[in-house]
């Protein structure tokens, strides 16, 4: 569930492909794994070297990859988003965009007519049905949780990661929407959808499993397409705890059937389980209340009753440790209304309790250092402002629990489509990157 990109550049990541994927020339069963080691560095994007077979990554509100599309290849930068299906590129040059895909320059680009089965059948999982425009081309419209939207035509072209090519990849060539407000945002060409829908990148490539480890600061991380986090080659990784993906057969108005939906069963602050009935976490008859694992959202959002219970308990356990910002008019990003004042003279935060998200069969433990986020430019007297990194879904206007990537740092996250489950285990992303780069 991608949001518009913010101006905050936390990390710049460079990764390279160590093994080749056979992409469209292989069956799903024999798909070769692609190992993508990541190195985070606090360096300006203008100084990144661009040698062959390397792909640029940076991490702000999402994971952003640089790859090539078309013939001759054009460099594009796309957000990797497990909460979205259709990959898309900006195709219309506008003053606020520095990076667009020029379809007229690509000899392998082709549009998809609205009468094509690709348009009439393969778009079935999109939230807004495809339509037919005045030129009888397949027209798609995308909308996101932050009220941003875009529209354009469905098309085919060749996507390349490193030296591996996938001809005939379906994507959206978008002509409007998603206006950028910062220079960093304007460099992003589009988005790579990674959910379970028929048109997602992993579905089109035939990968039955992918994993990632998101690094925290200046350390190694990794994205692995194919393969798995088990066996002798992963002896350095703790056994994964798996939670099943929730699937429903009947379409419901507020349930995203293509999302990576898991069952949240409880929330703990330190070791104290919040006194919430499990029914609070179960989707209702409309589908509202599902829990989605989403790399395209930065923070984690809870429905109102669960958020209020967590907010109150966190305040209680940090009483005398943190000073609450008493300003009802300040709500960070419009969804986070619990903020604190921390002295400018303080170089580190105090020790804070952990928050654990309890799933069916697995638990995600968020350490205290990732529970507060410094708000750039907000100073009150001699204090800086930090906000709680859990937000209220009700304020965002979304009827769902969303597990964002900020709370997935230094966890091995495996999305196992073949067995319909998500696995997780704590891991040092530095260790994961080093071991995989050596093939061990």
Structural domain boundaries of the chain? 11-207, 235-426
Phi first, then psi, for residue 431 (nearest 5°) are: -65, -45
Place of tokens 């906000």: 387
Name the more confident of 221 and 179: 221
Catalytic positions, written as ranges: 81, 294
| Alpha-carbon distances of 417 from 14, 209, 226, 231, rounded to whole Å | 27, 6, 10, 18
Say if CB 392 and CB 302 are below 8 A apart. Answer: yes
Shared fold status for 11-207 and 235-426: yes
The model's confidence at residue 205, banded by pLDDT at 50, 70 and 90, is confident
For the stretch 238-271, pLDDT in tens is 899 999 999 988 889 899 999 999 999 999 999 9
CATH of domain 235-426: 2.40.70.10
Q: Which residues neighbour 268 within 8 Å (Cβ) at sequence distance 6 or greater? A: 274, 354, 355, 356, 358
Residue 131's pLDDT is: 93
Residues 6+ apart with CB under 8 A from 433: 37, 38, 39, 213, 215, 219, 220, 221, 222
pLDDT digits (tens, 9 = 90+) for 290-341: 999 998 888 999 999 999 999 999 999 999 999 999 998 899 988 899 999 9
- The pLDDT, as a whole number, for residue 236 is 79
Q: What is the CATH number of domain 11-207?
A: 2.40.70.10
Greater pLDDT, 65 or 102: 102
pLDDT digits (tens, 9 = 90+) for 71-111: 999 988 888 889 999 999 999 777 666 678 999 999 999 99
Q: What is the pLDDT of residues 9-62, one digit of tens each?
A: 222 233 333 333 344 444 444 455 665 433 332 323 232 222 222 222 333 445
Provide mean pLDDT across the span 356-367. 97
């Amino acid at each position: 569930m991608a949001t518009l990109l913010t101006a905050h550049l936390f990390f710049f990541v460079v990764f390279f492909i160590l093994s080749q994927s056979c992409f469209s020339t292989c069956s799903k069963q024999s798909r070769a794994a692609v190992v993508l080691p990541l190195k985070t560095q606090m360096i300006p994007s203008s100084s990144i070297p661009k040698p062959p077979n390397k792909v640029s990554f940076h991490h702000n509100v999402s994971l952003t990859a640089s790859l090539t599309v078309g013939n001759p290849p054009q460099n594009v930068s796309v957000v990797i988003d497990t909460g979205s299906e259709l990959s898309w590129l900006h195709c219309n040059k506008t003053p606020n965009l520095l990076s667009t895909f020029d379809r007229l320059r690509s000899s392998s680009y082709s549009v998809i007519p609205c009468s094509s089965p690709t348009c009439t059948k393969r778009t079935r999982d999109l939230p807004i049905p495809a339509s037919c425009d005045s030129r009888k081309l397949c027209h798609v419209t995308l909308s996101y949780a932050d009220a941003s939207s875009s529209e354009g035509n469905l098309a085919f072209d060749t996507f390349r990661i490193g030296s591996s090519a996938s001809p005939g990849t379906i994507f959206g060539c978008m002509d409007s929407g998603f206006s950028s407000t910062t220079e960093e945002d304007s460099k992003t060409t589009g988005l790579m959808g990674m959910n379970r829908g028929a048109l997602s990148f992993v579905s089109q490539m035939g990968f039955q499993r992918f994993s990632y480890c998101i690094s925290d600061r200046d350390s190694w991380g990794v994205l692995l397409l194919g393969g798995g986090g088990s066996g002798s080659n992963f002896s350095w990784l703790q056994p994964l705890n798996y939670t099943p993906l929730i699937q429903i057969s009947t379409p419901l108005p507020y349930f995203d059937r293509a999302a990576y939906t898991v069952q949240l069963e409880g929330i703990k602050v330190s070791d104290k389980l919040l006194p919430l009935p499990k029914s609070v976490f179960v989707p209702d008859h409309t589908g509202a209340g599902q829990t989605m694992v989403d790399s395209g959202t930065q923070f984690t959002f809870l429905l109102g009753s669960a958020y209020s219970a967590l907010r109150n308990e966190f305040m209680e356990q940090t009483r005398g440790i943190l000073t609450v910002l008493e300003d009802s008019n300040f709500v960070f990003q419009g969804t986070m209304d619990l903020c604190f004042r921390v002295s400018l003279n303080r170089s580190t935060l105090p020790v804070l309790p952990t928050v654990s998200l309890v799933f069916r069969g697995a638990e995600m433990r968020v350490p205290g250092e990732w529970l507060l986020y410094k708000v750039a430019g907000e100073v009150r007297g001699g204090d800086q402002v930090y906000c709680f990194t859990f937000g209220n879904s009700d304020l965002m206007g979304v009827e769902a629990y969303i597990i964002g990537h900020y709370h997935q740092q230094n966890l091995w996250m495996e999305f196992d489509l073949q067995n319909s489950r998500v696995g997780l285990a704590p891991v040092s992303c530095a260790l994961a990157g080093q071991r995989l780069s050596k093939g061990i």
